[in-house]
Structure 1
């Protein structure tokens, strides 16, 4: 009888697992992908899609086609819980699915619960697999006043992308107490601040948002900010359904994993990407980690299936960050070195296209 490897979620790590299993099938095992969406977006290209630099399909991975190349069954549905004793994953639209090995890469959800009104009146950037259909209506409506709450890398790129796509609209980046690109090198922050000013993106900082209302944003002390549309780009929250898994989670609700990407206390369940909390050291919720975890996860799932030793995942201490400015220019930074202009955009475009080429097509 064949044993069963079940992948839940079509995130950046799991598309690499599918690619590797397509290249080298696992004898004696059947493979199933359970995912919410048939098309998985690559987060690195989404600002370019918003700016109109890419067509939507250029930033989407057809995970159903990728699963077919790996000989896997693709089930388009949402996981709702796990029975650890029976070793089955519950789902919203049908019978639960059994597993011998399980891997979770479902991403995160928007962190809207802390701010009243955010869930009702703001458009969250996460989960990214549901972003484009919801954002399309906003772009088509071309609201006169748009606010982007959260001034990390994602918020900055989205604000600049909206400014490029909707030149007649005013765009305000709401940076809060932390300011723009907190934690980035000072030189990079200065270059980005200059780019925002040159492109007429307004910055509202010094106070965090107290409430989101239909008319815009409310602050603890300052005047309200009138807006016609609000995008939410603050930190990620753990998917609520993870509480129904019985697996070890951190205080924020993310799945605790060890250095071999196994869920704590389990040898048969792995996880990667934004839904996880890496026990050896805290890691930011950034797509680069899921991408780098992909090859380790694929190798360890194969090793676990074959009864071989697993290898550890070693997070990179620094990496090249390339921020799209929305107009075929970019700003990049690594190890304190800052670069910018069309050459930085060309490099980002080349990296992103090369990444997508691994998963698109036959």
Structure 2
């Protein structure tokens, strides 16, 4: 894959991600069910990752017409300019992705150190209601002095870390907080957060993808708030807990922001959660998530893969499908599957010779200049 093809891939993939985000937003607007919205936005992350994998590993269909026929000189000039821009964009994307990946690894190391410094609390477990102790079976419950908000973690073993200040809550309020964190673990939200961070690393330059991540984070909290509260009295107690969160901390602890699901989050999300809880107190919601919404997102993802901008002037108009990428075709050839990994040209142009002339021209001009002092 040359630099011009990478430029085409970068712009087309950005367009596809935008179309997918708009589709998920429209589906979310069509439902008032928080569980369904969470399913939509979590499926969106899987679809965004799928778009990237499909774009770099498989051919794409060419529904839009290729650039018109150009003269050899025009084709050589366009190829040279596009290749230069392609190289710049690839370097730009790789630098940002590497920085994002290092930031995620740094956050994981800090989080690991924090967990090592947080002891378990068997006394706290013994003072909890029996029903809640059964829900916490197999989950490590730890106490820390380094955080202002509870958070949960799930990699090898699920765990919940509570700030020591939360031990001052009433037993009912503390039970609500723990039920919220248990709902995160039962739904595998920490593992979903890992996938979200990987997607944000790939699309680090795309503001729409970051907006999708914020929608997913909010929907996760709304679903777990709903799982933690069943009655109006519990909703009222839970709202008081959220108010205490606002009073105790001005911002989320940066040590676990990247990979830990913080209970508090930002103030904007807290306000939306409180408003949603107040709405639920007047209009209870107990509908399960719809699998049909996730299926619609996957179907939209497959349809959106056809949105490919034909920016490369070397694209052939004789083939409906683009050539198979080199790394995929080499693997398929090794297992005995023959695929087309080259363009089918419908014209004979000496653009390659013209392009080589333009590349060699600066070198020839410099060699003809007299040396200084002659």
> TM-score of the superposition, structure 1-length normalised?
0.21
**Larger CA Rg, structure 1 vs 2:** 2
Higher strand share: 1
Higher helix share: 2
> TM-score of the superposition, structure 2-length normalised?
0.21
